[in-house]
Chain A
Amino acid sequence: PNVKLVTSDNEEFVVDFRIAKMSVTVSRLMEAMNMSETDDASLLSNSIPLPNVTKAVMARVIEWCEKHKNDEPKEEKENDKRGRTTHVVSDWDKEFLKNDEFGRLCQLMGAANYLEIKGLFNDISQTIANMIHGKKSDEIAEMFNIHCDLTEAEKKEIRKKTAWCED
Chain B
Amino acid sequence: LYLARRRTIKSEFLKRLEAVKKCQKGTNQARHFAWVNRENIWEKKRYLQERVRIMRLKDKNKELIKFLEIEGAFPILDLPDELISNIFSILPIKDRLRARVNKRLDEIELESKYELGELHIKEQSMDDTFESTFGSETQIIFFEEQSYSSECIKRIARNASIKKFHIRLTGSGDFHREVYNLIKEF
A-B interaction: yes
The answer on a CB contact under 8 Å between A79 and B90 is: no
Query: Given contacts A113-B83, A141-B101, is CB(A83)–CB(B117) below 8 Å?
Result: yes
Q: Which residues of B contact A133 (CB under 8 A)?
A: 91-92, 95
| A164 interface neighbour in B87, B95, B99, B152, Cβ under 8 Å | B152
Q: Do residues B75 and A102 form an inter-chain contact, with CB atoms below 8 A?
A: yes
Beta-carbon contact of A163 and B90 below 8 Å: no
Is B118 interfacial (CB 8 A cutoff)?
yes
Main secondary structure of the interface of B (DSSP, over half): mixed
Contact B87 A145 (CB under 8 A): no
Q: Tell me whether B149 and A160 are in contact (CB under 8 A).
A: yes
Cβ of A68 under 8 Å from chain B: no
**In the complex, are the beta carbons of B142 and A164 less than 8 A apart?**
yes
Q: Is A83 touching B98 in the complex (CB atoms < 8 A)?
A: no
From B76, B90, B141, contact of A146 by CB (8 A): B76
Contact A163 B146 (CB under 8 A): yes
Interchain CB contact under 8 A, B74 and A106: yes
A162 CB → nearest B CB, Å: 5
Stretch at the interface among A1-9, A18-26, A33-41, A124-132: A124-132
Contact pick for B90, options A87, A105, A147, A161, CB 8 Å: A87
- Determine whether A103 belongs to the interface, using a CB cutoff of 8 Å to chain B: yes
Binary A-proximity of B52-83 (CB < 8 A = 1, otherwise 0): 00000000000000000010111111111001
Chain A nearest CB, measured from B90 CB (Å): 5
Known: A105-B74, A113-B83, A163-B149. A82 touches B138 (CB 8 A): yes
A81-94 CB contact bits vs B (8 Å, 1 = yes)? 11111110000000
Closest to B140 in A: A164
Do B74 and A165 touch across chains, with their CB atoms under 8 A apart? no
Residue in A83, A102, A129, A162 whose beta carbon sits within 8 Å of that of B119 in the complex = A83
Residues from chain B with a CB closer than 8 A to the CB of A87 are 90
CA distance A160 to B149 in the complex (A): 7
Q: Which residue of chain A has its CB nearest to the CB of B143?
A: A164
Q: Is B13 located at the chain interface by the 8 A CB criterion?
A: no
- List residues 65-122 of chain A with CB under 8 A from any CB of chain B: 79-87, 101-103, 105-106, 109-110, 113
Chain B hits for A153, CB < 8 A: none
| Chain B residue at smallest Cβ distance from A80 | B117
Please report A residues at the B interface, Cβ cutoff 8 Å: 79-87, 101-103, 105-106, 109-110, 113, 125-126, 128-129, 131-137, 140-150, 158, 160-166
Given contacts A133-B91, A135-B95, A158-B100, 5 further A-B pairs with CB under 8 A are A87-B90, A135-B98, A144-B76, A150-B103, A164-B152
5 closest A-B pairs by beta carbon, nearest first, are: A83-B117, A145-B73, A102-B74, A161-B151, A79-B117
21 examples of A-B residue contacts, CB within 8 angstroms: A79-B115, A82-B117, A82-B138, A84-B92, A102-B75, A103-B74, A128-B74, A132-B95, A132-B99, A137-B98, A137-B99, A137-B100, A140-B98, A144-B74, A144-B75, A145-B73, A146-B102, A148-B102, A158-B106, A163-B148, A164-B152
